[in-house]
């Protein structure tokens, strides 16, 4: 019996609403692993919105790649990890891109207020192209 998801299953799972865990290497310390909101459409890139010169941003710039883990919290457990290179991390997100990320986690009114408050000149949109995948679906 294999618990590994098919390509379609893992892409569908990753596109679902999960708080992701960003994992990226850093010098002389354990890897940085922090929860993060993200967006993903099957076959596309993982999108992260953050602010320039944060710990996350500095680690991602130095490493040039990262992993994102999404999981269920209840049995039967499932997870997907996507790892790949950063393909862009200098451009600010458009308001629509920022809203697409935040709407996954907040109501429309709260998402709009959050984006209106947080989107600014230090905002960046990080894009990662998944190349390596790990997955597990305990319901199989």
Task: Kindly report, residue by residue over 76-92, the tens digit of the pLDDT.
Answer: 999 999 999 999 988 99
pTM above 0.85, yes or no: yes
DSSP state of 61: H
Fold of 7-137: Pnp Oxidase; Chain A (2.30.110)
pLDDT at 140: 82
pLDDT tens-digit readout, 15-37: 999 999 999 999 899 999 999 99
80: burial class by Cβ within 10 Å (0-12, 13-18, 19+)? buried
| Interatomic CA distance for residues 105 and 67, integer angstroms | 20
Number of H helices, E strands in the chain: 4, 7
pLDDT at 101: 98
Task: Check if the beta carbon of residue 70 is closer than 8 Å to that of residue 7.
Answer: no
Binned at pLDDT 50, 70 and 90, residue 64 comes out as: very high
Domain spans of the chain, in order of start: 7-137
Residue that the structure tokens 């199989």 belong to: 140
């Amino acid at each position: 019996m294999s618990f590994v998801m098919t390509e379609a299953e893992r892409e569908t799972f990753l596109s679902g609403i999960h708080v992701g865990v960003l994992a990226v290497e850093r010098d002389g310390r354990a890897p940085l692993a922090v929860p993060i909101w993200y967006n993903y459409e099957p076959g596309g890139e993982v999108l992260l919105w953050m602010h320039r010169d944060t710990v996350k941003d500095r680690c991602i710039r130095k490493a040039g790649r990262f992993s994102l883990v999404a999981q269920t919290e209840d049995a039967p457990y499932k997870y997907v990890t996507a790892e790949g290179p950063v393909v862009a991390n200098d451009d600010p997100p458009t308001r629509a891109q920022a809203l697409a990320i935040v709407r996954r986690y907040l109501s429309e009114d709260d998402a709009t207020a959050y984006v209106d408050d947080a989107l600014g000149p230090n905002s960046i949109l990080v894009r990662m192209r998944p190349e390596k995948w790990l997955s597990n679906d305990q319901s199989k």
